[in-house]
Amino acid sequence: MDAVQLSIFANRLAGICEEMGALLRRCAFSPNIKDRLDFSCAIFDGEGELCAQAAHIPVHLGSMAYAMRDLVSGRDWREGALLVVNDPYLGGTHLPDVTVVAPVFAGGAAPLAFVVTRAHHANIGATAPGSMPISRRLEEEGEIIAPQWLRYDGAWQQALVQRLAGSDAADAQTSPRFGDFVAQASACDAGAAWLGQLIGERGEAWFHAGVAALNAYGERLAGQMIAAMPDGVYRFTDYLDDDGQGTLDIAVSVTLTIQGERAEVDFTGTSPQVPGNINCPLSVAAAAVYYCFRCLLPGTVPACAGLFRPISLQAPAGSLVNARRPAAVAAGNVETSSRIVDAMLGALAQAMPDRIPAASQGSMNNLAMGAHATPGSPGWDYYETMGGGMGAAPGRDGLSGVQTHMTNTLNTPIESLERHYPLRVWRYALRRASGGSGQFKGGDGLERELEFLAPAQVTLLTERRRHAPWGLAGGASGKPGENRLNGAPVPGKTTFQARPGDRLTVASAGGGGYG
């Protein structure tokens, strides 16, 4: 393919991913998906290699790119089949993120491609409402779905449907809790139909040629980007505050080796896995590493497996970033992935000091809450993340009040939040003067105050409450975040019972300054 044909190919595939996302958003039941947009869509070739993705959630997409080959190989795929998985040790990230995979056939016996959705479900059956508990074992975090058929030979697998719906009723498939699974299935069905139609119009040879050309192009650009860095070994260590179980100051260490057009990332020196839930599978660590290198490429470069071929990854088994089952991982996907990015950027800043920003807020400020169902009440589950300050960079201030790095979700609009849940928002504002000072100022964090209108169990999984986001080139650190209940400080990772009238304030960290 020439450059014009390759651009058309890449954009046709990316367009299908965008359309899948639009359909998923329209069909979803939960504000978590339809308002916060906590989902991702992508296309993989018949070997499970990434071909295209929409601009959705980096931690979803990078981990899928790392794990999809093993997930789709060796299975008896049929037309219309749907595979579902959330097991972090078998291709997932954490249990609320559920992946649905559909094959695309073009007349042959084996799939030519796969379309994939991954979405965050606020109720996956955990011990705490919102399915982000202060856990010590994976089993406490909800329903574990090993890779299995959600639908096969045109038939929904009813026993699994009832498990996921939390109901033994014959009509479990139509329950609101299962509605988001149906939305994901619909997006996969539509994506498979659109991609199948496109391949039918242009031919299998066109698709294979496009994938090969795309990967060659991506690998060449990634190699050139790495070659622009000075050869050498660059090291950086950053720290997570705690694991919610008493372990403090948990190290994430990166050794980055640049040699020609190859980059090796080694996590030797990182803390061993911990009792709390900030552990993560290697796929999540890979997602953070891929994201950092992807940010150094032009935004117009299409996503594909070739981008990651010049990058190798090493992490000791049983470490924080390559945990062993049954380690708890609920916060690893959100908080540890953020700290891996900070450690990676700290190492890259030594190789490319004129391009790398100071540390951003470094937390997704996870807030999960709700009430379990009782005979007289259906119960409710809610989960949200919150933005903060972006780190300043050479030549520019950091943005204020935005999601940074491994997440790309929106906030839940106050109108939607108050309509769906027994909550009132009293304050939602920028946290002035929380960004680090410097020649270029770090972005300010956010402050959000909620009042509970009904009893609720609440879980906070937040970071950068003890270790502030660092500045660069003499810039000051950003102000650490803080959490308050009725004005009194509460830990960064905690769970409590809220009563009507209680007020919770979550204040996110500011970004580091530069210069």
pLDDT in tens, 271-281: 999 999 999 99
CB atoms within 10 A of CB 325: 13
What is the pLDDT confidence band of residue 374, given thresholds at 50, 70 and 90?
A: confident
* Structure letter (DSSP) for residue 493: E
Residue 19's H or E segment, with its range, is: helix 3-27
For range 153-179, the mean pLDDT: 88
- For residues 200 and 106, the answer to whether their CB atoms sit within 8 Å is yes
Give pLDDT, residue 401: 97
DSSP, collapsed to helix, strand or coil, labels residue 11 as helix
User: At a CB cut-off of 8 Å and minimum separation 6, what does 135 contact?
Assistant: 126, 127, 141, 276, 277, 328, 330
For the chain, helix, strand, coil in percent to 5 are 30, 25, 45
Residue 110, Cβ neighbours under 10 Å: how many?
A: 9
Average pLDDT value for residue range 332-342: 97
pLDDT value at position 296?
Answer: 95
The amino acid occupying position 490 is V
pLDDT exceeding 90 applies to what percent of the chain? 87
Element housing 180 (H / E): helix 176-202
Alpha carbon 364 to chain centroid, angstroms = 10
90-99 per-position pLDDT tens digit? 988 999 999 9
| Interatomic CA distance for residues 51 and 303, integer angstroms | 7
pLDDT higher than 90, residue 159? yes
Cβ atoms of 333 and 281 closer than 8 Å? no
Query: Is 381:131 a contact under the CB 8 Å cutoff?
Result: yes
Q: How confident is the model at residue 268 (pLDDT cuts 50, 70, 90)?
A: very high
- Tell me the DSSP string of 34-103: HTT--EEEEEEETTS-EEEE-S--HHHHHHHHHHHHHHHTT----TT-EEEE--GGGT-SSTTEEEEEEE
Q: How confident is the model at residue 241 (pLDDT cuts 50, 70, 90)?
A: very high
Give me the mean pLDDT over the 175-183 stretch. 91
Whether 217 shows a pLDDT value over 90: the answer reads yes
Is the model's pLDDT at 350 over the cut of 80?
yes
Number of H helices, E strands in the chain: 9, 20
Q: Of the ranges 56-70, 418-432, 444-458, which one carries the lowest mean pLDDT score?
A: 56-70
pLDDT above 90 for 67: no
Mean pLDDT (the chain, rounded): 95
* Closest alpha carbon to 433 in 369, 343, 513, 371: 513
Return the domain boundaries, the chain.
3-218, 357-515
The identity of residue 129, as a single letter, is P
**With bands split at pLDDT 50, 70 and 90, how would you rate the model's confidence at 10?**
very high
DSSP 440: B
Q: How far apart are CA 28 and CA 31, in angstroms?
A: 8
Asked if the model's pLDDT at residue 169 lies above 80, the reply is no
Q: How confident is the model at residue 1 (pLDDT cuts 50, 70, 90)?
A: confident
pLDDT given for residue 64 in this prediction: 83
The pLDDT of residue 108: 81
- pLDDT for residue 478: 98
What is 112-166 written as a DSSP string?
SEEEEEEEE-S-SS-SSTTS----SBGGGGS----SEEEEETTEE-HHHHHHHHT
pLDDT tier at 66, thresholds 50, 70, 90: confident
Instruction: Indicate whether 61 pLDDT > 80.
Output: no
Rounded Cα distance, 75 and 338, in Å:
34
Query: How buried is 369 (Cβ within 10 angstroms: 0-12 exposed, 13-18 middle, 19+ buried)?
Result: buried
Res. 174 pLDDT band, cuts 50 70 90: confident
Q: What pLDDT shows up at residue 377?
A: 83
In this predicted structure, the answer to whether residue 235 has a pLDDT above a threshold of 90 is yes
Q: What is the pLDDT, as a whole number, of residue 172?
A: 82
pLDDT in tens, 434-485: 999 999 999 999 999 999 999 999 999 999 999 999 999 999 999 999 999 9
Query: What are the tens digits of pLDDT across the range 35-55?
Result: 999 999 999 999 999 999 987
User: What count of other Cβ atoms lies within 10 Å of the Cβ of residue 353?
Assistant: 11
Q: How far is CA 299 from CA 303, 331, 392, 398, in A?
A: 10, 29, 19, 19
Write out the DSSP string of 273-303: P-SSTT---HHHHHHHHHHHHHHTS-TTSPP
